[in-house]
Amino acid sequence: MTFKKLTDLDVSGKRVFIRADLNVPQDDSLAITDDTRIKAALPGIQYALSNNAAVMVTSHLGRPTEGEFKPEDSLAPVAKRMSELLGKDVKLVQNWVDGGFDVKPGEVVLLENSRCNKGEKKCDDALSQKMAALCDIWVMDAFGTAHRAEATTYGIGKYAGIACAGPCVASELEALTKALAQPARPLVAIVGGSKVSTKLSVLESLSEKVDQLVVGGGIANTFLLATGKKIGKSLAEPDLVEQAKRVMAKVNVPLPTDVVCAKEFSAAAPATIKSIDDVADDDLILDIGPQSAKALAEIIAKAGTVVWNGPVGVFEMDAFANGTKELAQAIANSKAFTLAGGGDTVSAINVFKIEDKVGYISTAGGAFLEFLEGKRLPAVDILESRFAN
């Protein structure tokens, strides 16, 4: 995988257009509740500023209707927070596609919500060319949108003088490549979540690459059904049992031998540890048991590379959090290269406070999963195609 990097370029005096991921969560009053993505975008912005570039930054925020700007779609709260973090004024520019705004070397402006521009999501060619005309260098630094071919994430890259990856994208791609293309063995993947259907293609792809595939959550229940085990009234997808069997025919899939059950899905419900063979018809499996957690920790301890996507239980409820907690601790203690990604996974990492003990944490959701599937990502394709020119 070969692409230009922003940090390898001379940007002095150049107009630099950075596509960042500033899609931050907000409360009902539009106040930002988590500025992690803004902070993640700062290294690329600061590199360009410190090297005397004229910097333009844009991002999508929420799901606006194209061509219909509404106040709640505005990046204004992001501009305010970015100003505070950078220690300098970040002006918000409306109606920016046709230019008409000024930004000098050493200055940065934030261009209003990219998805308010008609043609953004469909990667309109005329729109892409107009955007490219605004800059000398286009920087793709939003890995979370790398799987979407939109005007700011792909189209502009065809026409900008130089197309390169920002620090966020470069580090994501290097970590993912290290984990999947050149892994230290054994390679262990842990895939949790509620449904097989949402991650079936990931499971099938990983079954051909990994040495062991650990499944958790509702996904594990479907695999347990495939081995003839009873799961009571637990969440599962019986119609995908054959696909689960197909995956197990390709790779070792260690399944829980004991589980934590309850009679209802509630934080107040009494939790009972049971052998998988003792699950009753009215039981809900909400976590793996201590024996299964210990076995999982032993697998991780022997791994050379661990890829983690999804919890193994309902960790948001204390009674059913131990399995994911033990998993997180095993990853924290591992000498392997560890890579974790996906919203629920990042939440678990934060809850169990192992942020500084994971080799690489990807904040991307869809792009992370599509990379695990082996799919080509449009933003990566355009960066690679523009490497030589």
- Torsion angles phi and psi, residue 344, rounded to 5: -65, -35
Helix residue ranges per DSSP H, 207-254 = 217-226, 241-250
User: How is residue 44 written in tokens?
Assistant: 């690329």
- Torsion angles phi and psi, residue 235, rounded to 5: -60, 125
343 carries an active-site annotation: yes
CB count within 10 Å of CB 386 equals: 18
37 carries an active-site annotation: yes
**Residue at token pair 């009679």:** 263
β-pair type (137-141, 162-165): parallel
| Nearest CA among 137, 134, 153 for reference residue 145 | 153
Q: Is 164 helix (H, G, I), strand (E, B) or coil?
A: strand
Residue of 13, 67, 161, 343 marked active site? 343
62 carries an active-site annotation: no
**CA distances (Å), origin 315, targets 193, 227, 254, 327:** 11, 25, 20, 11
Burial class (CB in 10 A: 0-12, 13-18, 19+), 49: buried
Which CB contacts under 8 angstroms, 24+ apart, belong to 66-74? Answer: 66/115, 66/116, 66/117, 66/118, 66/119, 66/120, 66/121, 67/116, 67/117, 67/118, 68/116, 69/94, 69/112, 69/113, 69/116, 72/30, 73/113, 73/115, 73/116, 74/112, 74/113
User: How is residue 204 written in tokens?
Assistant: 């099938």
Residue of 91, 118, 178, 195 marked active site? 195
Q: Is 104 helix (H, G, I), strand (E, B) or coil?
A: coil
User: How is residue 30 written in tokens?
Assistant: 């539009």
DSSP 352: T
Helix residue ranges per DSSP H, 302-386 = 322-333, 343-351, 366-373, 378-385
**CA distances (Å), origin 133, targets 19, 72, 124, 278, 341:** 15, 28, 15, 67, 35
Residue of 14, 19, 37, 115 marked active site? 37
Half-sphere exposure of 129 (CA within 13 A, CB side): 3
161 carries an active-site annotation: no
List, by residue number, the catalytic residues: 37, 195, 343, 366
